[in-house]
Structure 1
Amino acid sequence: MGIKQVILNFAKISLCSFGLIITFYMVMDFTYFLSIPAIKGVHYINRTNDPWLNTSWALLANMALLSLFILQHSLLASNEIKNAFNAYSLQVIYRSLYVITTAGILLFLTRHWKSTPDVILWEMNLNYKPIFWIYASIHTVAWLIIYIGNICTDVTELLGIKQVYYSVVNLPDPNLRKSLQLQRLTNHMRHPSFLAFVLIFWLYPVMRAKLMCPVCAKKLPPIWCVLYMLRYLDRLLLAVILTAYMYIAWNTDERDYYYHKSQYERKYHELERLNRYSY
């Protein structure tokens, strides 16, 4: 092995290791951001004495952050970018760069997210123990489903570790070992689970909105006033945008469903047979 190859392998391993570290930190930080109610240290914009104007600026900044994440996530997942990496023989580090940029964008989002403290739509009292335990249980189970699901769907390949390892030991692309049906499924649904993410996005103890409608100046505004106010919610904006993005991006179809069903039945019968022979 020449010195050039040694340097290239060292660079691949270093990039992959950095991606693993920053991804682990991002997962912890993003989990805290989504599931732990922000009480202290909340960032918010206070440009004027007008709460509606302040809230509008906050929502505009938050929308820019969400747009940046969606642009990065969609652009790097496009076939054009993948083909460009393949054309320059950089497909080995594609996943590492993907997770590094994703982690960087999400860390930037959590640190620059602007709250809208002027307004409140609903608020759950987490000091009341039954509500706290229900909230904590649902979020814990949802995160466990996401974490375990990613581990079961080959987390080393998802993070780019397997690609770098196979390249260093001169093995072919690990994706070539996967069936076309599995490759198709992972392209249509990269991360499990849709329902768990939706629960995390929407089940939050504080959703913020103006109590006083600026149009009719009533404390209990009609439905059209409520709809007018909903655009001023920072957490509702995050829930709506990310839920819509997942719905559009995760385009599984009937073929994916039947493949997943057949693999589940196959594993079930294999475990049943092993259990029968163990007695």
Structure 2
Amino acid sequence: MLLFVLQHSVMASECWKNMLNKLNIVTCQRAIYIISTCFLIQIFMAYLEPVHLEPLWYVSTNKDTLIWLAFFLVHLVAWLLLYATCIIMDFPEMVGIRQVYYQYLDCGPPLIMKSAATRRLYSHMRHGGTSCMMIILWVHPLMTSTRMIVASILTLYLLCGFSVSEHDYIYLREQIARKHITFRLHRTKSIELLQ
């Protein structure tokens, strides 16, 4: 977990970005960042050793369908919102695909084409879903010691690394409304084409 936090912090630093710029591979910075993150998560999952202590809490979902349904719905909504924030925050750019594509087209970095509000948001919060991730980590019927350690480290990292202001909330709400309008237009056109 500490390697993940270290990698996320170092590779997001200006020092790292300047080094990539000197090597003339700044276009691949996001892709390298994402690939490194995925690699560390795979290592973490492969070598995670469970801590064998009594669970901190256990809520039986076997006997009561409503309790199981409540946990299921909370997680479903959290995962859907996490997915939606990835789409809203421009997923191809977030993972580095758009930067490479724009470099190929000789268009410059895609961030310069973003609004000032988007650049301001990206400067302190590159991906959304912090609240959703914390819900996924903490709202669980079985809180083992291992899960609690992972949830605590990631929660501290998320809380230290991201801050959201009222301007961010207003901006994201506007983006959701725009995506909804775009989705409705595409759906209407698709229906018209099928008829």
Which of residues 36, 50, 56 in structure 2 aligns to 1:121?
Answer: 56
2:129 is equivalent to residue 193 of structure 1: yes
Given the two structures, how large is their TM-score scaled by the length of structure 1?
0.59
1:50 corresponds to which residue? none
- 1:105–1:262 Cα change, 3 Å: closer
- 1:259–1:70 Cα change, 3 Å: closer
- C-alpha displacement at 1:263, in angstroms? 6.5
Which of residues 163, 170, 177 in structure 1 aligns to 2:113?
Answer: 177
The structure 1 segments of at least 4 consecutive aligned residues displaced by more than 4 Å after TM superposition are: 265-269
Work out the CA distance in 1 between the residues paired with 2:175 and 2:89: 16
CA RMSD, 1 decimal: 2.5
Work out the CA distance in 1 between the residues paired with 2:45 and 2:152: 17
1:34 corresponds to which residue? none
1:258 corresponds to which residue? 167
- 1:89–1:158 Cα change, 3 Å: same
| Identical columns (%) | 30
Given the two structures, how large is their TM-score scaled by the length of structure 2?
0.83
Q: Which runs of 5+ in 2 are unaligned?
A: 182-195
| Counterpart contact for 2:88–2:175, Cα < 8 Å | no
Work out the CA distance in 2 between the residues paired with 1:163 and 1:250: 23
Counterpart amino acid of residue 95 in structure 2: L
2:72 is equivalent to residue 160 of structure 1: no
1:96 corresponds to which residue? 31
After superposition, where does 1:44-123 map in structure 2 within 5 Å? Answer: 66-123=1-58
Work out the CA distance in 2 between the residues paired with 1:263 and 1:133: 29
Higher Rg of the two aligned structures: 1
Counterpart amino acid of residue 142 in structure 1: A
Determine which structure has greater relative contact order: mean sequence separation of CA pairs < 8 Å that are 6+ residues apart, divided by chain length. 2
| Counterpart contact for 2:94–2:127, Cα < 8 Å | no
